[in-house]
Chain A
Amino acid sequence: MLGYIIRRILAVIPVMLIVAIFVFLMLRLSPGDPAAILAGDSATAAQIEKIRTELGLNDPLHIQFITWMGQLLQGDLGTSLISKTGVVDMIANRINPTINLALMTIIISVLLAVPMGVAAAWRHRTWVDYLVMSFSVLGFSIPVFVIGYIFMAIFALGLGWFPVQGYRAPTEDFFGFLLRAILPSLTLATIYVALIARMTRASMLEVLGEDYIRTARAKGVKENSVLFRHALRNAAVPIMTIIGIGFALLIGGVVVTESVFNIPGIGRLTVDAILARDYPVIQAIILLTAGIYVLINLLIDLSYTLLDPRIRY
């Protein structure tokens, strides 16, 4: 097991290296002279040349890469071209809202979706099943910003239960955080509820046909226990996978939702950076997202061993 974890962590190195090369080339291969892009439309030739030297763009490509990797390994992701602050600090400031929002979204999704999926499988081909599946199709098909604005219109503007927009850190005002995070989380959750409920239903349907479910019923186990004690754990591996991927997607930046609800997270940072062509920031976000994906995938794989004793690495 420990050997497996070490091997998996070692396997991260080539993946991240490829991502790093891609990110490095992104700036160098983008059309036009990056220095000219960076300097802006009204820059003089001398200004551009100055930027070139500063960025080391006159050096051969491999030297540039080594220099850049060296800085990267020391945790130096460069300085924002717009705000002139360190990129690492910028991300650190923005990551918390995103993580908190993602956590809350995933918790809401799992709490809603898993029972829905179990119920749909248990009452297969009845109105319960059809209701859950209809909701699931709906959750997939309505765009996230539409849901966001509808929720906002009903619960914030109409009923006035929640603030329309904004964010507060849970460490300073937990209730304030909940109040502001609930609508964006619900908005984001619709698609994940749809996804997880579908996966739970499919996986449960398969498991409910298994012989050991019949055994459980034959020994007089209550229906509740049959579903949640015997079936759900056997059905858990694919559900866990979906939840993990969902969480990674959420951290990767929930651009639209953060914009709609005006939350200062990674998603908004990404949009701002792209619109401003702030290359160092974009690079850092790509690296961060890739790293999170790899990490979460590792965690998902390890969780399988807890869920199913037959899986050993």
Chain B
Amino acid sequence: MKFKSRNFEGAETVLDIKDLSVNLPNQETVAPILDRISLNIRAGETACLVGESGSGKSVTSLAVMGLLPKGALEVTGGKITLEDRELLGLSHNELRHMRARRMAMIFQEPMTALNPVMRVGDQIDEVLQIHADMSASERKARVLDIMEQVHLPDVKRIYGSYPHQLSGGQRQRIMIAMALVLQPKLLIADEPTTALDVTTQAQILRLIAELQEKQGTAVLFITHDMGVVSEIADTVHVMKEGQIVEQAPVEKLLREPREDYTQKLLKAVPSLIPRKVRPPKSDDQVLQVQGMKKIYGGGGIFVKKEGTLAAQDVSFSIARGRTLGIVGESGSGKSTVARCVMRLIDPTEGEVRVDGNEIARLSRRQLRPYRRFIQIVFQDPFRSLNPRWKVGESLIEGPLNYGISRAEAMKQAGDLMELVGLPRDVLDRYPHQFSGGQRQRIAIARAVAMKPDVLVADEAVSALDVSIQAQVLDLLGDIQDKLGVAILFITHDLRVAAQICDDIVVMQNGLIVEYNSASEVLANPQHEYTRALTEAAPGREWDFANFCELKKTA
């Protein structure tokens, strides 16, 4: 694997942070949010700030931009120097003039970071209106020019479009255009590709690198994805609980991580090498899907409307105790399939057999006895548990519906807590008292409480930090060993799929393009789209957990 190894000695320092501390106002007693961090970035350099959620990455970036939420966080010490100007202590107005001209920022969610009721061209134009003394026609030409530079197609049309009319990748291009139109010295990118599909992510990373080269921008890139780090970083700063615990050039950090914490982070990165092949334990196919099709919308009272085809010709089956992954990008139809299988929505055509019982055509009432056999874990553990219910109540609701006594259900719920690695007494607490990883454990326990034959996990680890992700994946594996449940695992992340799946279905535009064992799909992809997906996976030549190049085993 080739890392960036440019020498920045002699390059001018663009951003210099010295002993920066940030704290909650009037709370000297609690641990600071940022604890005397120092880092500097030179012209043309890409510095990656990595760490788990809550480590202070975003607070650092917002402190530089002067955008810390007023009243909630305040800088309590240190210096931030941009080129020759000390930023702390600048007036609100002086700081405002620095933004977009000297320093600019792009954010994680291109879906929400653009104003939904303004045309995107006008949103870029606004930067010029505020900061540049240009006529309307000059500005328009400049906006179209930067839109060309970020490789947007048909810029004249897109100029007049609203954000919701563009794809995620296009919106992020608009954000980048907005950030770089005045050629700032510093670009802060806060997880700019996390919400994007891998292929789009690869394009956006290339684009940032290209513009950085052209303009000589210093880039502070915040990410939790070590794959991305290995592709783009010159220097890496590892953050933990408000401190920078390790700083090193990228290759040094990945080969010889010094700190335990860094090693732990790297070891948690799921490997792209598929899991060892497990011989099937039984031929008992607990979930069979045949020729499933789903069209959204359509119908209409006065006029017959054309629906949206979300999935077509979907067929697969899972044996008891096995894990099947459905991999695909957003809009590929993978979640639609999960929801149809669960009968959360009704498939338009096709069969779904759970334990041999056809459920696709049953009415809601007829379906009730079968609900128990198939349970789901959702992506966002912060929203999938009722915040007003104690954990215990959430856990026993299902069993109570199936006639188990309250005392018995509570006892089982306690056992389940132990199964997922939480103490029994958490049953009396509310969801907000738990971290994301713990909540996902609870969500899994809730699904398992019904003793299902099939567990559907819809992006169940995507919202978690890598180290937590690894633990939850282990937990799913354990539960499968103990209970023999079949898992339908929906994910966009090939690394995660490689860790847990026996077989993989690759979906694109509602169709299955490849369906084979995990080792075949990952090592020997047949379809062009699968190949594109694997190639776009960042850092695919590096074995993060072992700090060395990935050895070709096949």
Contact = CB atoms under 8 A, between A and B. Distances in A.
A221 interface: yes
Contact of B164 (A3, A125, A233, A309): A309
Interface string B155-180: 00000001010000000000100110
A68 B162 CA distance: 52
B112 A212 contact: yes
A214 B107 CA distance: 9
Interface residues of B, number: 31
B105 interface: yes
B117 A219 contact: no
B113 A212 contact: yes
Contact of A220 (B71, B97, B114): B97
Contact of A211 (B109, B118, B164): B109
B19 to A, nearest CB: 24
B116 to A, nearest CB: 6
B386 to A, nearest CB: 22
A210 B100 CA distance: 19
B259 to A, nearest CB: 32
B242 to A, nearest CB: 21
Contacts of A7: 302
The majority secondary structure among interface residues of chain A is helix
Given A220-B99, A220-B127, A215 B164 contact: no
Interface in A94-125: 125
B191 to A, nearest CB: 12
A222 interface: yes
A62 interface: no
Given A7-B302, A211-B109, A309-B164, A217 B67 contact: yes
Contacts of A211: 107, 109, 112-113
Interface string A204-240: 0000001110111111111000000010011000000
Contacts of A230: 115, 118
B65 A215 contact: no
Interface in B279-304: 302-303
Interface string B89-118: 000000011111100110101001111111
B11 interface: no
A215 B118 CA distance: 13
B96 A215 contact: no
Contact of A218 (B99, B109, B112, B302): B99
B130 A221 contact: yes
Contact of A308 (B107, B116, B178): B116
B113 A310 contact: no
B115 A219 contact: no
A310 B96 contact: no
Contacts of B164: 309-310
B467 to A, nearest CB: 27
B131 A215 contact: no
Interface in B117-135: 117-118, 126-127, 130-131
Nearest to B188: A218
A219 B107 contact: no
Contacts of B118: 230
A219 B116 contact: no
A31 to B, nearest CB: 42
Nearest to A218: B105
A220 B113 contact: no
B468 to A, nearest CB: 24
Nearest to A307: B117
Contacts of B65: 218
Nearest to B66: A217
A219 B101 CA distance: 8
A221 B118 CA distance: 14
A7 B126 CA distance: 39
B127 A214 contact: no
A219 B302 contact: no
Contacts of B96: 220-222
A208 to B, nearest CB: 11
Contacts of A218: 65, 67, 99-100, 104-105, 107
Nearest to B117: A233
Nearest to A7: B302
A307 B116 CA distance: 11
Contacts of B107: 211, 214-215, 218
Nearest to A230: B115
Given A212-B112, A215-B107, A309 B100 contact: no
Nearest to A309: B162
A219 B99 contact: yes
B187 to A, nearest CB: 11
Contacts of A234: 115-117
B104 A221 contact: no
A220 B162 contact: no
A135 to B, nearest CB: 23
B115 A220 contact: no
Interface string B466-498: 000000000000000000000000000000000
Contacts of A214: 67, 107, 113
Contact of A210 (B97, B99, B112): B112
Most buried by B among A7, A214, A308: A214
Contacts of B112: 210-212
A306 to B, nearest CB: 10
Given A309-B162, A310-B164, A219 B113 contact: no
Contact of A215 (B115, B162, B303): B115
Given A219-B130, A221-B130, A212 B162 contact: no
A214 B303 CA distance: 42
Nearest to B301: A7
Contacts of A212: 112-116
B126 A219 contact: yes
A163 B116 CA distance: 48
A150 B312 CA distance: 71
B114 A219 contact: no
A217 B99 CA distance: 8
Given A211-B109, A212-B115, A215-B115, A220 B130 contact: yes
Interface in A1-49: 3, 7
Contacts of A210: 112
The 10 A-B pairs of least Cβ separation, nearest first, read A220-B99, A211-B112, A212-B115, A219-B100, A211-B113, A218-B105, A309-B162, A220-B100, A220-B96, A215-B113
Interface of B: 65, 67, 71, 96-101, 104-105, 107, 109, 112-118, 126-127, 130-131, 162, 164, 175, 178-179, 302-303
22 contacts: A3-B302, A125-B71, A210-B112, A211-B109, A214-B107, A215-B113, A218-B65, A218-B105, A219-B100, A219-B104, A219-B130, A219-B179, A220-B96, A220-B98, A220-B127, A222-B130, A308-B117, A309-B116, A309-B117, A309-B162, A309-B164, A310-B117
Given A214-B113, A217-B99, 9 more contacts: A125-B71, A211-B113, A215-B114, A215-B175, A215-B178, A218-B67, A218-B104, A233-B117, A309-B162
